[in-house]
Structure formats: C-alpha cells, structure tokens
Amino acid sequence: MARQLDEQIAGRFRVGRRLRVLDVGMGRGTQALRLARAGHDVTGLEHDPVLIAAAREALAAEPEGIRERMRIVEGDGRDTGVHFLPGSFDVVLCHGVLMHVEEPDPLLAGLARMLAHGGLLSLLVRNGDALAMRPGLSGDWAGALAAFDTTTYLPRARTDSNGETPARPGPEARADRLGELTATLAGIGAPLYAWYGVRVFTDTAADDAEIPADLEQLLAVEERAGRTDPYRGVAALLHLCGVRD
C-alpha cells in the first residue's frame, strides 16, 4: 500500500515539494514516520495513549531533522475541526479507522474539509463486498453464507507480544462497500480518483507465518492483483484515493 500511496503523491504533486500531511489514527506512527523521512511535514492524530507512547518512542529515536518534521496530537479523527483549520493539509491519511466508526460520513466530511484544493485523501477500509472470502477459504461455510448479507464482521484474533492469542477476537467492526464510498466521496467534494485491492491472496496467512523465501515474488503478485480486475474486487481491504475538487 505504501507504494500505491507514493505513486498517487508523485502523480499529483511537484517532485521535491514538502507536503503537509495529516495521518488520522496514526497508530504507532509507522506511516507517518515513513513520510517524515521522505521530507514531508507530518501531523499524527491518535487517541489511544498506548499507541501515542509507542509513536513518541519511535520518533525520539529518529535524527533531529525528522523529529522537527513530525508532531503528534492527541485527539479523535471526528474532531479534526477542533485541532486544525480547513484546507490545512495537502494529504490526509485515514488508514484502518473507518471500520471502527459506526457513522463514517461525518468523519469523512471533516477530513475532506482539512484538504487544500487538489489535496489527496487516502483511505484504507475493510472491503464489504468480499466479507465471505475469508470464512469461505477457511471452509467456514455457515460464516461465509452469513457474510453475504452483512457489512459487520469480527476481526481475526491477533497474537499478542507474548505469543498468545486471545480466546475471542476483538469487538465487532464494520466494512465499507466500494459503491457506497464512491458516492460518499463525490458528495463531500473529494471524488474517487483511484482505488486498489490490498491482501488479495494473503489475508488468510497466520500472523506467525514465516517470511517466505520468495517474498519478492509474493509482493509482486499482491501488487499486480491489487491493480487488476477482477482480483482487486475480492481483496480483504480497499485502498481508495480521493482528490479535493
């Protein structure tokens, strides 16, 4: 997905331009730090104190020049208007956040207002048109049948830092359908410009799976599938890019 984002940035902005980037729900700051290292001014917005602490620790280990280009703000993505003026950013990222928001339209409208004219809105969402894929490929036929008629799902239980898997997955989350998001983006003045599939073939891989010897080929296949119909339509996640008109 980083390559897709970089492609969109390179296609929309002058090479070498220092962009103003807002990363909403930055988590541990991985994407924000990557963009700060690339020379951009990055603001990370996050409400989870544990993740904020991890991001601050990672930022503290960076050279001074990178530390000066990134700031961390504690807050909720639904309150961007409280923290920033409209049109303050050239790029707004919202990756892995919408699935935890019951009513995403107000959040998306707020994010669009943060964009300057011609600015790029980058979303990473759970694909509501392909929720039956994971249970179906795992042989969970009852789960696959149920997934056709819903946009809610239980995230897969993740292995924690001690190597233990919780007895139950996390709280129920929500997926988005491409057609509905396309209409929403058009309605908030940031119409869909490009979209990709993410995790087409690798969604069922175990968290503790060993890195395969043919990793480069695997990544090349995922990259190709994520840009190609019909494969991208059944990806576990969708990466959508809207442009402020």
Q: For the whole model, what pTM was predicted?
A: 0.92
For residue 209, count other CB atoms closer than 10 A to its CB.
9
In a domain, 202, yes or no: yes
Q: Are 82 and 113 in contact (CB under 8 A)?
A: no
Over the stretch 132-143, which tens digit does the pLDDT of each residue have? 999 999 999 999
Residue 216: give the domain boundaries. Answer: 2-130+172-243
Least confident span in 63-67, 157-161, 178-182: 157-161
Over the stretch 30-44, which tens digit does the pLDDT of each residue have? 999 999 999 999 999
Collect all residues with Cβ–Cβ distance below 8 Å to 171 and sequence separation of at least 6. Answer: 155
In a domain, 26, yes or no: yes
Collect all residues with Cβ–Cβ distance below 8 Å to 125 and sequence separation of at least 6. Answer: 98, 99, 175, 176, 181, 237, 238, 240
CA distances from 139 to 70, 153, 170, 232 (A): 45, 17, 21, 22
In a domain, 139, yes or no: no
CATH of the domain at 102: 3.40.50.150
In a domain, 45, yes or no: yes
In a domain, 149, yes or no: no
Over the stretch 162-175, which tens digit does the pLDDT of each residue have? 444 444 456 899 99
- Number of domains comprising the chain: 1
Parallel, antiparallel, or unpaired for β 152-153 and 70-74?
A: unpaired
In a domain, 140, yes or no: no
Tokens of 167: 């007895």
In a domain, 143, yes or no: no
Torsion of CA 13, 120, 90, 111, to 10 degrees: 180
78 φ, ψ to 5°? -80, -5
The pLDDT assigned to 162 comes to 40
In a domain, 136, yes or no: no
CA-based max dimension of the chain: 54
